[in-house]
């Protein structure tokens, strides 16, 4: 008997929503406002690494000789990043995969290491609802349900059994 696909699990950042460019662009703009350039190669090395490997705020502060208000710079960057993210639509093809998955009766889930409130906020922009599962943030899976029907959150182990581990 051949294996049967029972679910589609989508990674949120980078697959459903391309969040890396707004993150980079917002920092690059802040750096330019302070007369410096954010080294693109440093940023590219940072992508996918654990938090704390590169702190753009600390790096910028080390370059600026004028008085530097860390909190104001952090807030300004977060506001700009939020503006850029709000302009984004789902990546090409995602809506088609979701529609086809629903047509086939597959379970749909989102995997994300981002906080569930962040994922929910972005899914909510498109009329979606997201229900976060339990467990560590890096293991959190959220059930994506546009139709408004109930449904219990999909936990990591159950999702692995449903869609396989590879």
Domain stop point among 64, 86, 108: 86
Q: Is residue 80 located within the same domain as residue 131?
A: no
Q: What is the mean pLDDT of residues 130-146?
A: 37
Cα 8 from Cα 11, distance rounded (Å): 10
Q: Is residue 94 located within the same domain as residue 82?
A: no
In a domain, 2, yes or no: no
Q: Is residue 26 located within the same domain as residue 65?
A: yes
Q: Is residue 25 located within the same domain as residue 62?
A: yes
**pLDDT of amino acid 5:** 86
pTM score: 0.65
Q: Is residue 78 located within the same domain as residue 105?
A: no
Q: Which residues are catalytic?
A: 11, 13
Q: pLDDT tens digits, residue range 19-67?
A: 888 999 999 999 999 999 998 888 888 776 666 678 899 999 999 998 9
Residue of 22, 24, 10 whose CA lies nearest to 112: 10
Count of domains observed in the chain: 2
Cα 155 from Cα 136, distance rounded (Å): 11
Q: Is residue 71 located within the same domain as residue 130?
A: no
Higher pLDDT, 69 or 18: 69
Q: What is the mean pLDDT of residues 64-74?
A: 94
Q: Is residue 149 located within the same domain as residue 118?
A: yes
Residue of 131, 133, 128 whose CA lies nearest to 160: 133
Is pLDDT of 153 > 80?
A: no
Cα 140 from Cα 134, distance rounded (Å): 6
Q: pLDDT tens digits, residue range 82-132?
A: 999 888 888 888 888 888 988 999 988 888 878 888 888 777 665 443 333
Q: Is residue 113 located within the same domain as residue 137?
A: yes
Q: What is the mean pLDDT of residues 138-143?
A: 37
Q: What are phi and psi of 4, to 5 degrees?
A: -115, 130
**pLDDT of amino acid 120:** 80
Q: Is residue 12 located within the same domain as residue 36?
A: no
Cα 123 from Cα 120, distance rounded (Å): 5
Domain stop point among 86, 118, 133: 86
In a domain, 73, yes or no: yes
The boundaries of the domain holding residue 32 are: 20-86
Q: Is residue 35 located within the same domain as residue 82?
A: yes
């Amino acid at each position: 008997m051949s294996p049967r696909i029972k679910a589609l699990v989508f990674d949120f950042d980078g697959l459903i929503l391309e969040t890396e460019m707004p993150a980079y662009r917002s920092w690059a703009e802040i750096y330019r406002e302070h007369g410096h350039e954010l080294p693109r190669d440093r940023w590219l090395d940072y992508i996918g690494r654990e938090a704390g490997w590169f702190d753009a705020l600390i790096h910028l502060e080390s370059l600026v000789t004028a008085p530097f208000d860390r909190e104001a710079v952090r807030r300004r960057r977060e506001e700009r990043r939020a503006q850029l993210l709000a302009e984004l639509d789902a990546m090409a093809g995602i809506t088609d995969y979701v529609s086809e998955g629903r047509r086939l009766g597959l379970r749909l889930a989102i995997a994300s290491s981002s906080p569930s409130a962040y994922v929910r906020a972005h899914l909510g922009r498109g009329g979606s609802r997201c229900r976060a599962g339990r467990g560590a943030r890096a293991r959190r899976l959220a059930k994506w349900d546009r139709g408004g029907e109930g449904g219990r959150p999909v936990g990591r182990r159950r999702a692995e059994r449903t869609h396989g581990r590879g």
